[in-house]
Structure formats: C-alpha cells, structure tokens
A and B are shown apart, each in its own frame.
Chain A
Amino acid sequence: MHKVAPITKLALTVFVTIWAILLQSLPALALLITCQIIILMLARVGIVIYKGIASLFIFAAVLAGIQYFISNDMILSAVTASKMVAMTLVFFILLTTTRMQDLSTALVVQCRIPYEYAFMFTAALRFIPDFLAETKAIQEAQACRGYSPQGNLIRRFLSYMAIIKPLVLKAVTRSETMALSLELRGFGSRKLRSFGNKITLNTRDYALLISMATFTSYLIIH
C-alpha cells in the first residue's frame, strides 16, 4: 500500500466513503471493514494504529448504544456504527501509508488545489501528534501542582481549564511563529513552485482506479 500513488489513495478514500453510504447490509459493511483491516495489516502499521482502531470500535459501540436507546432498532444502530467505522478506517489507511509531503504534492499537482490550502491541510494533520504531546506535558506540569480531576462532570470540566488554557495559548503562539517562519522563507511569494518528490501514477494505480470506479458504478446501478 505504501507504493500506491497518493492520488490513488485519495480516490480510495472517496470511493470507500461512497461505498459506506451506499451499502445498507450489515454483512457487506462488515466485509468492507474487514478488507480495510487486512490492508492495514499488509501495510505493517504500528501498534499505535491498532490501539486507535480499538478506540474507534469502542466509540462506534457507544454511538450504536445511544442510537439503539433512541430508535430501539438494533439493525439500524449496527449499520450506522459500521458505516462510521468503515468511513474512518480508510483515513487510517491514507494517513499511515502516505507521507505528508507526497499527499500535499498530489493535492496541488494532480487535484489542482492551491498550494496554500493543501499546505493548511497537511500542517493541520502534522499538528495532531504535537498537540497530543503538548497536552500530556501540560497535564504533567499541572499534576505537579496538585491537579487531579475529581467530582462531578461540571467540576471535572472546570478543573480541565488548567490544561485547556495553556494549551490554547501555546497553540496560538506556535501558529504565529510558524506563520512568521513560513513568510520569512518565501511562502506564497510565487504562483509556481517546484516539488522534490515524484508522485506519478503507474499501471497498478490505473488498474486500481478503474476497478474502484467500476465497483462504484455497479453499486449505484444496483
């Protein structure tokens, strides 16, 4: 999966989302989810990703539970949760098997998205692990000052302000520094820019794109 062109994986993301919307049967959705997990296993992703997938399944189960509580329809709840899992798993495939710079290049060169927007998208994705690390560091700093969330939900939320406020302030400072640093390196000064990485499509990519388009057409017709 790592060798597949980024544009093909972007197309896969779109197609899987369409399939998840079109498919209404639980076995079909289960098959789609299984196939995606097999793809992730073949791509040899790290243990952290599997932990993320486990959390996704727990979240889906909670959502299904809430929907069952509201609608009293077990099948509908399971189908909705499965759709959500299928649509999210494909992003795991995209993000764990594609380098950010390749994704950015594909968006600009092949999807004709302005570089500023593509950069914004990849920068936001890159920001997530930093954001999580910063949250952990702030939690530790406040824990050393006696921070220990206890009591009811409102009390816990209020005490969590000790984490949120410094986190937001740090994020604002960081984005300001990043904007300045980008500007100082000529970001957005020219319409044309060059890319060092190659993201050309080969026979395998064309075959995958045709197969995915054919399958989608089949689903729409039937």
Chain B
Amino acid sequence: MLELQNVDFAYKNQSPVIHDISLTVGPGEFLAIVGRNGSGKTTLTRLIMSLIKPTKGNILFQGSIIPNCTPAKMARHVGYVFQNPDRQIFHDTVAEEASYGPRQLGYTPEQTATFVNEALAATGLSQLADAYPLSLSKGEKQRLTIASALAMQPKMLILDEPTSGQDARQRDQLLKLLIKLNQQGTTILLVTHDMDLLSACAQRAIVMAKGHKVFDGPVSELFQDTLQLNNWGLIEPAALKISRELAAFGLKQTASINELSHDLVNMLRRNNYA
C-alpha cells in the first residue's frame, strides 16, 4: 500500500534528520513507530503526508508516486490525526466538523452525510453530533479528529501520539476504537511513546533512533533485548516487567496486559487462591 524507498530528509542548510529509510506498509496492517524525542518519528509521517518533501528517495502509494503531491491530495488516501485536536476544530457542531474534510474533497452532500454518520458511529460520537466541539473532553475531541479523518474515506490512518493528555478511561476507549477500525480493514500507523499501547494493539513496530530505522519487526521481538531497548530510549511495557518478576512462579513472559491478567488468574486458580 505504502512504500518508502531510500528516503532522506534534511531541513535547509542543516544535517539530515532522516537517513536512508526504506519500508513497506501492507493493507490492513497495524504498525507503530516508536523512538525517543527527536528520533524522526513525526518527520517520517510528515513525509508520508507530503507536508515536507524528501531530499532523496521516493514515496509510493499503491505502487505509484503521486505526482505534484500536496497534503490536500494525500488526504484522499491517508487520514492524519494530529496530537493536538484544538489545532483543527473550528465548526459549531461535531457533525459539521466531521463534514469539513469530505466537503473539501468534493463529495456530494448526500455522500458527505453518509460518510459523516458512519464515521461518528464508528467513533461512538453519534449521540454528540449536535454538540459544540470545544465543550467535549480531550478524549472525545481526539475521537472527533479520528471521525473527521475517517469521514474522508482514507485507506490508511496515521495517528501522532493519540493518547497524550488522556486519562486511563479515555485511553482505553481509544485503544478499543483503533483495534475495531483495524479489524474493519483500516491500515493504522501509530506514532507513540506509549509502550503499553504499542504492545496492546500493534502487530509490527518500527524503532527510529537519530533518524535511522534501527528495528522493523513483530512487537514480540522488540521486547526480547531489554538492553537494546534502553539504548533506543524505550522502556518495557508494565506487563512485561511484572511477568518477568513472576517468571519464578511459572508465569510466561508477555508484553500484553490482557494476556498477563489471564495468566495470573489461571495461576491463582491453579493454586486455589480463587
């Protein structure tokens, strides 16, 4: 679906911030880009959205380079959800806000209404369709930005730090929503620091360090080398730490909190504690 071929990027008169990145994203994948601050994660997604142009290499979407690509043209294929929802919300109702994108892309009013209703239903915002967007909670605003992106019928969704500033309940709702969207066929690319979120939903992880891609593989493989993980500025998910501590009691190591809780309950049952 998306392919980056030996992509380099440098800001004018400055040293490169992205070095020779090649990667392929297949349809229906759920992948996460992780790395410490300044490692090039967001720059990589900005390159994908044509917000900036590569200084070397090519970016292909569905097998072809999009000629004279602009972010507005790319929006037809890829939805981008920014970290700060307040930077894009400006309409008086949730439904109007979500309909801005499809109208910009030239869909008919009927098509727009259908897409908006579907997007609001998918994000659990149908009840708030007439609400004033700025009165929503941070979590609801974030879901509204996702609905706004979904209403443009993208094949792929990029989310930049979607859980920042959200409480545990909002984070959990977002996690369920992303998993549901992915199961419905949307390709998801997540930029995050949240290793628990990564282990709970992503199938594949890409680690960026100083503008280089230093790891690209299944999430389970990422957590095998703790020392390397620390070198990249990442921390283990809480579930992995707990399961490692409890390995002596026969618990298998896992990065998934759901798997850990399931194994713990089984272990307690086996030992007649429950």
Contacts and interface: CB of A to CB of B under 8 A. Distances in A.
B75 interface: yes
A188 interface: no
Interface string B59-103: 000000000001110111001101010111110000000001100
B72 A148 contact: yes
A146 B100 CA distance: 8
Nearest to B74: A144
Given A140-B51, A140-B71, A169-B134, A145 B152 contact: yes
B5 interface: no
Interface stretch (A36-44, A70-78, A159-167, A189-197): A159-167
A169 B152 contact: no
A143 interface: yes
Interface residues of A, number: 19
Interface in B136-160: 148-149, 152
A58 interface: no
B80 A169 contact: no
A146 B51 contact: no
Contacts of A142: 88
A147 interface: yes
A39 B48 CA distance: 44
Contacts of A141: 82, 87-88
A162 B75 contact: no
B100 A145 contact: yes
Contacts of A143: 51, 70-72, 75
A166 B75 contact: no
B238 interface: no
Interface residues of B, number: 26
Interface in A160-194: 161-162, 165-166, 169-170, 173
Nearest to A137: B87
B207 interface: no
B105 interface: yes
B104 interface: yes
B99 to A, nearest CB: 11
- Residue from A138, A142, A144, A162 with most neighbouring chain B CB atoms (10 Å): A144
Contacts of B148: 145
Given A140-B51, A144-B75, A146-B75, A166 B86 contact: yes
A145 B100 CA distance: 8
A145 B107 CA distance: 13
Contact of B101 (A137, A138, A145, A170): A145
Interface in A4-44: none
16 contacts: A137-B82, A137-B87, A138-B88, A141-B87, A141-B88, A142-B88, A143-B51, A143-B75, A144-B82, A146-B72, A146-B76, A146-B152, A162-B90, A166-B86, A166-B88, A169-B86
Interface of B: 46, 49, 51, 70-72, 74-76, 79-80, 82, 84, 86-90, 100-101, 104-105, 134, 148-149, 152
Interface of A: 134, 137-138, 140-148, 161-162, 165-166, 169-170, 173
Q: Ordered nearest first, which 8 A-B pairs have the shortest CB separation?
A: A146-B104, A165-B90, A143-B71, A148-B72, A144-B80, A145-B101, A141-B88, A141-B87
